Structure 1
Amino acid sequence: MRVSTQFPIAFHALVMIANFKDIRVTSDIVARSAGCNAVTIRNIFSKLKKAGLLSVKAGTGGTALGKPVEDITLWDIYAAVESDDADEIFKIHSNTSGTCPIGSKVRGLLSPHLDNAVAAMKAELSKVTLSQLTDELNRS
């Protein structure tokens, strides 16, 4: 399974916004902290905004959480920026042979197990809130 860097970057951005309440957190500030391009951050901000996790102020810039930190889970963040579809997370080659006794059944054999893996990931990430991780960060 391969997850892009969007998930940890989105988490990074939301933790910054949650912690720096007195600072206007912009895509440029997050980009410098995360070590990536501001355009990448703006694209992630767009996805987080669409998911209701982020509020972006037009004009002067700046951001705020779209809901309370205790109501944002790691799964919410993941699902906002990544696919939660098992077929997207676990790529199965699309040109397997339909006539081969193995190739014709690989997808059907794997799919229920991959769906279970995604469900387990969702269950685990849903247990952890942004509030918990912000508290952990501030204690370290």
Structure 2
Amino acid sequence: MKYSKKLSDTIHCLAFIALGEKEHLTSTRIAESVKTNPAYIRQLMAALKRAGLISNTQGQANACLTRPADQITMLDIYRAVEGDKPLLHLDVDTNPECGIGIHVQLSIGDFYREIQETAEQKMREITLQDIIDRYHEKIKNLPIDTDQAEIGKEGLADE
């Protein structure tokens, strides 16, 4: 089963933009960090722009957040790239003549809705700033002699 990494990749992009706000960040540069292709990054950026989370000029490396990172929630980001897609999905291809199959799926659906509501509530509480703060905590706890620690201390300019 293939699962979506859009939320993770999009948060990565937004953190990259927030941490490198004085730099001109191209989709190629961000794609290298995400380890993907620039076209995919441009798709994510277009979704973020449509959602009003970033602004930029097409063809220019000048993306910026439209509001402070502490005012952008994980749910805002999720909705920007996944829309109303639920986190969990039912198997809708069960035998329609099997009462167990149908009613088990309907029962599971009740619990999936509860899980969705709980997850969305938590996603409303987590901001991009929380993620950036956690990033800084993790960088601070890296061993001093690693290249990653130097990248964290120096910022994006040395990547």
Q: What band does the TM-score fall into relative to the shorter chain?
A: 0.7 to 0.9
Specify the SS of the correspondent of 1:136: helix
Q: Where does residue 24 of structure 1 map in the other structure?
A: 24
Note if contact 1:15-1:134 (Cα within 8 Å) is conserved in structure 2.
Answer: yes
Is 1:128 aligned to 2:141, yes or no? no
In structure 2, the partner of 1:38 is 38
CA contact (8 A) 1:54 1:66 kept: yes
**TM-score normalized by structure 2?**
0.77
Q: Hey, what's the Cα distance between the residues in 1 that align with 2:53 and 2:108?
A: 33
Q: How does 1:78-97 map to 2 (within 5 A)?
A: 78-86=78-86, 89-97=87-95
Of 98, 107, 115, the match for 1:100? 98
Pairwise CA distance, 1:93: 2.6
2:70–2:130 Cα contact (<8 Å) kept: yes
Pairwise CA RMSD: 1.9
The CA deviation string for residues 51-93 of structure 1, in whole angstroms up to 9 with x for no partner, is 111112124332011222111011211221124433xx33323
Correspondence 1:46-57 to 2 at 5 A: 46-57=46-57
Work out which structure has the larger RCO, using CA pairs closer than 8 Å and 6 or more positions apart in sequence.
1
Match of 2:68 in 1: 68
C-alpha distance in structure 2 between counterparts of 1:29 and 1:117, whole Å: 36
Partner of 1:6: 6
The one-letter code of the counterpart of 1:31 is A
Per-residue CA distance 1:1-56 (angstroms, 9 max, x = gap): 97411111101110011111210112111001111110110111111111111112
- State how many pairs are aligned: 138
Aligned-partner residue type, residue 134 of structure 2: E
Same amino acid, percent of matched pairs:
28
The answer (yes or no) to whether the contact 2:90–2:108 under 8 Å persists in 1 is: no
Alignment check: 8 A CA contact 2:90 2:109 kept: no
Residue range with higher mean Cα deviation, 124-133 or 33-42: 124-133
Task: Point out 4+ residue stretches in structure 1 off by more than 4 angstroms.
Answer: none
The superposition leaves residues 108-128 of structure 1 with CA deviations (integer Å, 9 ceiling, x where unpaired) of: 211121011111111112111
Moved more, 52-61 or 9-18: 52-61
